[in-house]
Structure 1
């Protein structure tokens, strides 16, 4: 590992962020960077391959990614300590492929206590300086940047049982259970990290789902924080995926986030329903088979998110978003995700009005347009696959064959 370096007087903080720091009696410092390059190795690849076949979590891939990210984060913090800052804001972690190796990269911005002679690094946060202002005005004190991840696969077993179940119309419980269980694992792990650093909250959680090494990784990133009104949540920290501006608004009117909640349902159109929808799609009008199926699947996901919130004594679930993923083979996943909130006496923000500099979004002034070489796929948009397209199953093939035979039959009739 090379010597720790410091880039004094070089910051990636914007003017709006620096203004918000000033309001918190903080000043900008330099960029800090940490990285770690990993190779899975042939033994690890074989083990991971077996886990992919069986389905569920793939521990080797999960631990590889987690260890790589932690190494990069720790090295970034070493650089921050060398520069004498009090904290690191806007921490990011990303994964870059270099052939057979993977680089884990973490970048953050050091902040200083204004006019302080000596400083000790006391916190790291995923929040940028604007978001940090919102958190501080809500009464939260940042402690540590935390992550929770899980690498998973449906697996051969899941595909076999799922295929048999998908012949009929309705929910495929084998798939629903796998997706629900693995996604809650990521939430449990980010909560555990917060508990280990004596925090009672994880706020500003961002969730991403990315295809990786023949599987999928679900990653949650957030900031472990402490709030004086949440002492009873020391053993089970609250979790929230609300934006920091949204959280400020809810706390301002007396609602505290208590739990990030999820509801998952995986549905199949079924072989009979698939054939019916093909014929219906050849004429103009509503495809009632698809209409009722998709409605039922969304309702099931919402029922589960509501049940999840009720288990934690929530009053409402806010900011709910429903993401739809096509898994292939006639299977569709519906993921409902939001934050359960609870009305608490005596809860409000420190100031009655949020300053505009905390919510103004910075505009890019440099644009690097890449040539189009194919269709781009964004995993943050609904309708994209959360399980690799290679997991498209036998139903898609069967439907394709049926359509081909139908057109051949029509062609023969027409030219007799």
Structure 2
């Protein structure tokens, strides 16, 4: 009997067994690109007006897609019916860029081999939650945007930064790129025949003079959702466990809502803040600015949710990024609404579907994990 080498944990294996699956082999796909071409493209955007750098976006997308496809072919060679825990990583490797996809194959308990039916970013516990809430996973999907503030935005923003308040040139660029990535992941889901993208994870990383915003998730199909979602799929960054809880309470996610605001303390405010920092106590200029900016970002997602007719916005998170003296405030959450299609097969999740696996690898440096947990 051949030994199975899997990245699945004991909790995942338990959850898979409850839904008629068994663990399969760990699978890997990669693609290595030269930094020469990517580097020249990245440096050429410094004089642009700002916004998406489509050449870099397309090359990164191509590299990620090639590594994903090679991983899928490996799973098909093993006769797997599904792939869980798909990752899409970007790593520097001997002066080049390696695009890396890693996942685990699953099989049905009734047969050792079969046709590949689904790929997903979520793990075995997530698969249990989705199936029990009526969502059939179809395909791992992602949307990415490489963007630059650009010369125009940089000059105007630099002038505006002398005055306290929002710098709309920067806010507009960042808002546009974030919504573009969301539109692209929804577009991939639509092409796959899905009516929702669940478990979306978002990351922003610098890349050769620009930044890449990356969204990845699982395209799913729920047979009882309204037909309108086939044209405009649901998008949600709630975990699959949260999605199950919502379904159990009678709610469905509607859309991932997000808003960005870039603020400057201003020249005078910066001087006052610097002087006050020498003494103990509150720096009122920074307090009021950060409060105002955070409230503005949350107000943007509240307005977007109201347009959708949502009952609530769940899982709101706020992020603050220091952009060379400017502050970017990002608010993100999922708009939800009560709907009769929302229900679960089981009255409660088993403990194994919600337990976090304990990390047994302890190292001073960041470990090179072959199976990152989501």
TM-score (norm 1): 0.85
Instruction: Return the alpha-carbon distance in structure 1 between the equivalents of residues 64 and 85 of structure 2.
Output: 15
Q: Structure 1 residue 19 and structure 2 residue 9: aligned?
A: no
Matched, 1:322 2:318: yes
The 2-side partners of 1:173 and 1:35 are apart by: 39
How far is the alpha carbon of 1:101 from its aligned partner? 1.5
Q: Deviations over 1:256-298 (max 9, x none)?
A: 0110110110000000111122222233332221111111101
Q: Is the 8 A contact 1:40 1:64 kept in 2?
A: no
Query: Does 1:339 find its partner at 2:338?
Result: no
Cα drift, residue 347 of structure 1: 1.7
Residue in 2 that maps onto 1:96: 91
Cα displacement (A) at 1:143: 0.4
Who is 1:70 aligned against? 65
Q: CA deviation at 1:226?
A: 0.2
Displacement of 1:307 in angstroms is: 1.1
Specify the alignment match of 2:281 in structure 1: 285
Query: How many pairs are equivalent?
Result: 363
Residue correspondence of structure 1 range 27-106 to structure 2 within 5 A = 27-42=22-37, 45-54=39-48, 55-106=50-101
Query: Which residue of structure 2 aligns with residue 197 of structure 1?
Result: 192
Alignment match, 1:267: 263
Match in the other structure for 1:380? none
Task: Identify the match of residue 232 of structure 2 among 229, 236, 247.
Answer: 236
Structure 1 unaligned spans of 5+: 1-6, 372-416
1:160 partnered with 2:155:
yes
d(CA) in 1 for partners of 2:36 and 2:274? 46
Aligned-pair CA distance for 1:8: 5.8
CA deviation map 1:72-109 (0-9, x unaligned): 00010001011111111111111121233111111111
Q: Which sits farther off after the overlay, 297-306 or 150-159?
A: 150-159
RMSD: 1.5
Classify 1:100/1:114 alpha carbon distance in 2 versus 1 (closer, same or farther; 3 Å).
Answer: same
2:246 alignment partner in structure 1: 250
Distance in 1 (CA, whole Å) between partners of 2:273 and 2:349 is 51
Q: Which has the higher contact order (CA 8 A, sep 6+)?
A: 2
What's the CA shift string for 1:283-334, capped at 9, x where partnerless? 3332221111111101110110111112222111010000000001x31000
Q: Distance in 2 between matches of 1:302 and 1:370?
A: 36
Where 1:30 maps in the other structure, the secondary structure is strand
User: Aligned partners of 1:357, 1:369: CA distance in 2, in Å?
Assistant: 29
**Are 2:107 and 2:113, in contact at CA under 8 Å, matched by a contact in 1?**
no
Contact 2:42/2:209 (CA < 8 Å) preserved in 1?
A: no
Contact 1:149 1:219 in 2 (8 A): yes
Structure whose alpha-carbon radius of gyration is higher: 1
Q: Does 1:298 align with 2:291?
A: no
TM-score by length of 2: 0.94
Q: State yes or no: 1:364 paired with 2:353.
A: no
CA distance in 2, matches of 1:281, 1:366: 41
Q: Separation in 1 of the partners of 2:259 and 2:104?
A: 35
2:219 aligns to what SS in structure 1?
strand
> SS of the counterpart of 1:340?
strand
